[in-house]
Structure 1
Amino acid sequence: MQGRTYTADAEPGDHVKVAGWVHEIRDLGGIAFLILRDKSGKIQVKFEKDEMDEELVETGLGVHRESVVVVEGAVEEEPRAPTGVEVTPDSVEVLADADPELPLDPSGKVDAELSTRLDNRTLDLRKDEVKAVFEIRAEVLRAVREEFRDFYATEINTPKIVATGTEGGTELFPITYFGKEAFMNQSPQLFKQLMVGSGLERVFEIGPIFRAEEHNTPRHLNEATSIDFESAFIDHSEAMDVCEAVVKAAYEAVEENCQTELEALGLEDEFEAPEGEFPRLSYEEAIQRINATGKLDEQLVWGDDLPTEGEKALGEDVGEHYFITDWPSEIKPFYIKDHDDDEQLSTGFDMMHPKMELVSGGQREHRYEHLVAGFEQQGLDPESFDYYTKMFKYGMPPHAGFGLGGERLIMTMLGLENIREAVLFPRDRQRLSP
């Protein structure tokens, strides 16, 4: 809109055109106020009924909450106003009137269930604390991209429709693709590995992944955002270094650039970027520490995956972000390389927040014969992945990488109770619309 001023930029003495939504109307008799809200904040518009044009007053005070209006007028200092200034209007134009019966209250005075909020996400994001989550999410993705670029990584985009699943199994969404069966991709894993064998060498991707999991929990989604990294000529330890740096960069960017949003969420006094190196526990040490907490009904033994209760107990014990390394080979995917001196141990790692797993990564198997053997050991047909395996015949360097759950990063960073609060339009077992 030509000549428009954001409310946060309005200064005493200015003559402005502000546009946004009617947040609230306060009628005190001879004087009334319209609170106008835009992306940058709110501003008070003052109507002195006896001194103003009657039609102007009727237009400004007769509009329904959440209607879209344009107000032109002079800005004056007013210490009692919410932002210290107010506008005395010359004109008020209603661009779009809102239905007086709203499905939820964008002012936040009346709470709504999460399902109602998600059904009416456009209205929901008019609340400062909800909008803040997505402003922070945008800042996290910006910072992550910048950190990857500092690591000399090239951003790529890989297919989301594939002929075979990345990891096999039943967690696949089948689709019909010109009369053939295809699937929504579970991960960019195989494609990003192919790219480290190309001239790009070091790559990253931020994009959707699809898992047909039956989970219906506050931390699972069927469409999620994966933050992926893969690099030639590094090992699993160096991949953990990059992972740690990326997570720290995300926190530091939010701490530096999102104070207004943190205030909206009530986190301005408690949000802190992690400092120091993340502890690295071996899988064996992890199960020993979990068992020592005494919080599980049965003791874990070598080869067990870590149950949710075990992760929670260990997270409380460690109290900060940490890595679990040296997992048993049998419970890591076929593309994870084993240690050269012990085939029972993989180079796979997970990075954990005290509340949940955020990252899975490791060094990859770059030797063709070993890779094909890994397929067969996990009951997968190597011929179905020929587009992938054959490239390992043509000079595939040692490489390592990881995948970081974008929504889980935001959820744990902001202490959200449900991962769906970190997604604009979540997809889970019950939700396909909006």
Structure 2
Amino acid sequence: MTESLGDWRRTHYSRQVKPDMNSQKVTLMGWIHEIRDLGGIIFLLLRDRDGVTQITAPSKKVSPKLLEEIRKLRKESVVAVKGSVQESGKAPGGVEIIPEEIKLLNQSQQPLPLDPTEKVRAEIDTRLDSRFLDLRKHSVNSIFKIKSRMLHSVRLFLEEQEFIEINTPKLVASATEGGTELFPITYFEREAFLGQSPQLYKQMMMATSLDKVYEIAPIFRAEEHDTLRHLNEAISIDVEVAFADQDDVMILLEEMVANAIKDVKKSCSEELETIGVELEVPKTPFPRLQYSDVVDLVNAQGVNLRYGEDLSRAAEKAMGEVMDGYYFISGWPSEIKPFYVMPNSENPEISHAFDLMYRDLEISSGAMRVHLHDLLVDRIKSKGLNPDSFNRYLAAFQFGMPPHAGWGLGAERFTMCLTSAKNVRETVLFPRDRRRLTP
């Protein structure tokens, strides 16, 4: 029969139980990872957030009643264990617990939809369908501990740079970059959309005295992709800075990325070891390539890329063969960049836009923005959009908008770089893509 906690309270996670705690009383709580009954002794592996602890129940030290209770337990059931620490060189972490009491908190049904011990591998769709079980694997939840630390590091870095965190609407009336990648919704008596990015609101903030802002929040893109790199809901780390150009925010971005990698390497050593990743902190400044040079490099690799085209997947892979690590691509043609990107005053066909790449993966896009009202209206028209749809946005540019620049960094793609994940869905708790809306 399962029970409530009552007066039981956890005293330690598995990682906190050390060999020098010999004979100390502890209470652990978690899931049953494995049970091995050898007759005269039972080994129970208890898994929690931080690791696995061996519960050793020898018949000479444990009562027959407790042994019988242990034998009734099933894998993945939730239990609480009170016992004493004993040093053991053969046990995980060099310690084992000799149990005095075990409370069954919830019995797991059998069979399991997948095997959290990973003795039987499951396909990604099976794993995502039963994500609650999948996340019990330390190789999986380590990714999210790393992602959490990265986001903490990013926030701390930006706060130390005197940035102000903002929260912008996710229900919007108009497109950010055109109407082909929007999720429409019914907003009372009219149509609205899920926000593609906070771009327009970030720029409007530059007309205020809060001129260094950031936001970490969801973005929604109705792209009909079915790749290992695209999601329809993702977390974007967005920054905008007034009285700055593209060079200023590129320096900010590379310093933030290098700092986050350094912090993750220091703070998540066990998680990185669990997933088998050795992080290298990149040197700054990152290499800077011109778009025109990238076209030549890609074509030299046998990929046909015409000047003025965005990088195809084949072109990205070709760059991944040439470049190892983080690098910028700048000098993009204005034609393939959004309306708010500032053209070069000397050659308007070239923009002040940049992408940050990691090998063959684009993880960030940024630019100096158009801050001149009339030029912005012309740019909106050139993209086949109606300036009347942006009247609230454009108003901010009529009353003193300073030069400004910024970028958006994909949290999930950056996490792929940190963890060597091959599928972006590995870096999202509950992914939303073209085919998946549950769980």
**TM-score interval w.r.t. the shorter chain?**
over 0.9
Instruction: Kindly indicate whether the alpha-carbon contact (under 8 Å) linking 1:34 and 1:61 is maintained by their aligned counterparts in 2.
Output: no
Of 380, 385, 398, the match for 1:380: 385
Which among 160, 174, 185 is matched to residue 184 of structure 2?
Answer: 174
CA deviation map 1:381-433 (0-9, x unaligned): 11111110011111111000001111111112222121100000000111000
Q: What residue is the counterpart of 1:277 in the other structure?
A: 285
In 2, the alpha carbon distance for the partners of 1:265 and 1:223 equals 25
Q: Which residue pairs with 1:89 in the alignment?
A: 99
Q: How does 1:25-424 map to 2 (within 5 A)?
A: 25-267=35-277, 270-293=278-301, 295-296=302-303, 298=304, 300-424=305-429
In 1, are the aligned partners of 2:316 and 2:360 still within 8 Å (CA)? yes
Q: What amino acid is aligned across from residue 87 of structure 1 in structure 2?
A: I
How far has the Cα of 1:315 moved from its partner? 2.5
User: Which residue is equivalent to 2:14?
Assistant: 7
Q: Return closer, same or farther for 1:24/1:323 CA change in 2, 3 Å cut-off.
A: same
Using the TM superposition, give the Cα deviation of residue 346 of structure 1 relative to its aligned residue in structure 2, in angstroms: 0.7
8 Å CA contact 1:162–1:182 kept in 2: the answer is yes
Q: CA–CA distance in 2 between the matches of 1:406 and 1:244?
A: 15
Measured in 2, the distance between the counterparts of 1:106 and 1:181 equals 44
DSSP-derived class of the 2:92 partner: coil
The one-letter code sitting in structure 1 at the alignment partner of 2:85 is: V
**How far 1:207 moved relative to its partner?**
0.7
CA RMSD, 1 decimal: 1.2
Residue aligned with 1:344, SS: coil
**Number of positions where the alignment pairs a residue of Structure 1 with one of Structure 2:** 429
Q: Distance in 2 between matches of 1:92 and 1:301?
A: 68
Q: Could you tell me the percent identity over the aligned residues?
A: 48
Amino acid at match of 2:137: K
Distance 1:83 1:61 in 2: 24
SS for the counterpart of 2:315 is helix
Give the ranges of 4+ consecutive aligned residues of structure 1 lying more than 4 Å apart after TM superposition: none
Give 1:107 deviation, angstroms. Answer: 0.9
Shift of 1:301: 2.9
Alignment partners' CA distance in 2, 1:233 and 1:390: 19
Point out the more displaced range, 84-93 or 185-194. Answer: 84-93
One-letter amino acid matched to 1:45: I
Q: Is the 8 A contact 1:355 1:412 kept in 2?
A: no
| Residues 147 and 246 in structure 1, CA contact (< 8 A), matched pair in contact too | yes
Aligned-pair distance for 1:96?
0.5
Which TM-score applies when normalising by structure 1? Answer: 0.96
Amino acid in the other structure paired with 2:259: A
CA distance in structure 2 between the partners assigned to 1:129 and 1:3 by the alignment: 24
Q: Give the letter aligned to residue 73 of structure 2.
A: V
The change in CA–CA distance for 1:214 and 1:336 in structure 2 (over 3 A counts) is: same
Residue 170 of structure 1 deviates from its aligned partner by 1.2
Ranges in structure 2 where 5+ consecutive residues have no aligned partner: 1-7
Secondary structure of 1:339 counterpart: coil
Distance 1:198 1:2 in 2: 50
C-alpha deviation, 1:33, in angstroms? 1.0
What secondary structure, in the 3-state scheme, does the structure 2 residue paired with 1:392 have?
Answer: coil
Give the letter for the 1:7 counterpart.
S
Q: Which amino acid aligns with 1:357?
A: E
Q: Secondary structure at the match of 2:98?
A: strand
